[in-house]
Chain A
């Protein structure tokens, strides 16, 4: 693998520091089939997902985040009604995230046909 050492990237619109590109990149993401046999569709920087129960997942990262102040976004779909996806109130850790999917109509955790998440923050 070749190495290009530089501080700035440039296109027709101007220059962007490499640090900006790195900070702006998602540090981890995943797309999951959440019904039937739970499987990864695609991902980056994850080692496993733990199926904790209906609509509840713990995603475990390969490279930890630098601190507990990262930002996480998750979305989910399921057939049959509205959905809510959220972050576990147990508190984030730098090496794993929690995702809860629940329904405004059914209540409680519900499995989603498709679940995605993305994490932005500093790396350890």
Chain B
């Protein structure tokens, strides 16, 4: 199986980047006084996701993250190396077929956000939303005050 990095090299050569029309806005329940963060998809990654045959299953990333986090928790003074754990799963895992953009966003949430945000949270507050990019403010003057809307206004439908 070709290494994922080499597949990405090939993909960058032949695929046109795709700017996603979505962002993921989230709050970290581990930082209740913090402000909202925004997950921004990479256009080259999105193109690979839409093309298919390049990216590994998201489960491989979840497993690899668990391995690394367990090492950092159990051996905080020992630098982490994949060589000590027999290598990571995701570089050589068989690639998955093409995804829709919505499926790709869900993939990114599982890959790049901690499970405490998308899987383990049991509170009453809405802490994560997938929103159109136009709903993320471009005026960052009050960036430290951003929060996930709890009762968003419905968007007007186009005429």
A67 x B108 contact (CB < 8 A): no
A84 at interface, CB cutoff 8 A = no
Task: Pick from B32-40, B123-131, B149-157 the stretch touching chain A.
Answer: B32-40
Size category of the binding interface on chain A: 35 or more
CA distance A30 to B42 in the complex (A): 9
Q: Kindly identify, within residues 20 to 59 of chain B, every residue whose CB is under 8 Å from any CB belonging to chain A.
A: 35, 37-45, 55
Find chain A residues with CB under 8 A from B143 CB.
53-54, 111
A63 x B90 contact (CB < 8 A): yes
A54 x B140 contact (CB < 8 A): yes
Q: Which residue on B lies nearest to A108, using beta carbons? A: B144
Partner of A64, one of B17, B82, B138: B82
How does the 8 Å CB contact mask read for A68-80 relative to B, with 1 for contact and 0 for none? 1100000000000
How far is the CB of A90 from the nearest CB of chain B, in Å?
10
CA distance A95 to B38 in the complex (A): 18
How far is the CB of A52 from the nearest CB of chain B, in Å?
5
B80 x A48 contact (CB < 8 A): no
CA distance A124 to B90 in the complex (A): 9
A43 x B44 contact (CB < 8 A): yes
Find chain B residues with CB under 8 A from A36 CB.
138, 140
How does the 8 Å CB contact mask read for A28-57 relative to B, with 1 for contact and 0 for none? 001000011111101111111111111000
B3 at interface, CB cutoff 8 A = yes
Also in contact, A46 and B68, with CB within 8 A (given A64-B88, A67-B80) = no
B45 x A53 contact (CB < 8 A): no
CA distance A95 to B89 in the complex (A): 13
A52 x B40 contact (CB < 8 A): no
Also in contact, A94 and B68, with CB within 8 A (given A63-B90, A68-B80) = yes
Residues of chain A touching chain B, judged by Cβ–Cβ distance below 8 Å, are 1, 27, 30, 35-40, 42-54, 60, 62-64, 66-69, 91, 93-96, 111, 123-124
Residues of chain B touching chain A, judged by Cβ–Cβ distance below 8 Å, are 3-5, 8-10, 12, 17, 19, 35, 37-45, 55, 61, 64-65, 68, 72, 79-83, 87-88, 90-91, 108, 111-112, 133, 136, 138, 140, 143-144
Beyond the given A94-B68, A95-B68, could you list 20 further A-B residue pairs with CB under 8 A, ordered by the A residue number? A30-B42, A35-B140, A37-B136, A38-B40, A39-B19, A40-B19, A40-B40, A40-B44, A43-B43, A48-B39, A48-B108, A50-B37, A51-B39, A62-B55, A67-B80, A67-B83, A68-B79, A94-B88, A111-B140, A124-B90
